[in-house]
Chain A
Amino acid sequence: MSLQRRPLFALVLAGLGVFGASPAFADSALDTILAKRSIAIAIPTDFPPYGFVGTDMAPQGLDVDMARLIAARLGATVELVPVTSANRIAYLQTHKADLVISTLGKNPEREKVIDFTAAYSPFFQAVFAPRAMVLKSPAELAGKSIGVTRGAIEDMELTKIAPAGADIKRFEDNNATVSAFVSGQVQVIATGASVAGNMMARNPQLGAEFKLLLKDSPNFIGIAKGDDKLRLKVNEIIASARTSGEIDKLCVKWLGRPAGDLPN
Chain B
Amino acid sequence: MVQLDFAAVLADWPLLLRGAALTLALTAVAAVLGVGAGIACARARTHGPPAVRALAAGYVELVRNTPFIVQLFFIYFGLPSLGLRLSSETASIIAMTLNLGAYAAEIVRAGIDATPPGQLEAARSLAMTERQVFLRVVLPPSLGRVWPAMVSQVVIVMLGSAVCGQIAAQELSYSASLIMSRNFRSFEANFVAAGLYLAMAVLLRQALAWAGPRWLFGRIAPTGR
Q: What total of A-B pairs shows CB separation below 8 Å? A: 59
Interface residues of B in 64-89 (CB under 8 A from A): 76-78, 80-81, 85, 88
**Beta-carbon contacts under 8 Å, A79-122 to B:** 86-87, 89-90, 93, 109-110, 112-113
Given A172-B166, A183-B80, A184-B85, are A90 and B184 neighbors across the interface (CB < 8 Å)? yes
- Are B174 and A170 in touch, CB under 8 angstroms? yes
CA distance A150 to B181 in the complex (A): 7
In the bound complex, do residue B184 and residue A180 qualify as a contact, i.e. CB atoms below 8 Å apart?
no
Q: A185 at interface (Cβ–Cβ under 8 A)?
A: yes
B54 within 8 A of A: no
Interface core residue of B2, B167, B182, B184 (most chain A CB under 10 Å): B184
Please tell me if the beta carbons of B85 and A179 are within 8 angstroms of each other in the complex: no
Majority SS at the chain B contact face: helix
- Total contacting residues, chain A, CB less than 8 A: 23
Give A85 to B184 CA distance when docked, in angstroms: 12
Minimum CB–CB distance for B171 against chain A, Å: 12
Interface residues of B (CB under 8 A from A): 2, 76-78, 80-81, 85, 88, 165-168, 174, 177-178, 180-184, 186
23 A-B pairs with C-beta separation under 8 A: A86-B180, A89-B184, A93-B2, A109-B182, A110-B184, A147-B168, A150-B178, A150-B181, A151-B178, A151-B181, A169-B88, A170-B178, A171-B167, A171-B168, A172-B165, A176-B167, A180-B77, A180-B168, A183-B78, A183-B80, A184-B80, A184-B85, A185-B88
Apart from A89-B184, A90-B184, list 14 A-B contacts with CB within 8 A: A86-B180, A113-B184, A147-B168, A150-B177, A150-B178, A151-B180, A151-B181, A169-B88, A169-B168, A170-B168, A172-B177, A180-B168, A183-B78, A185-B85
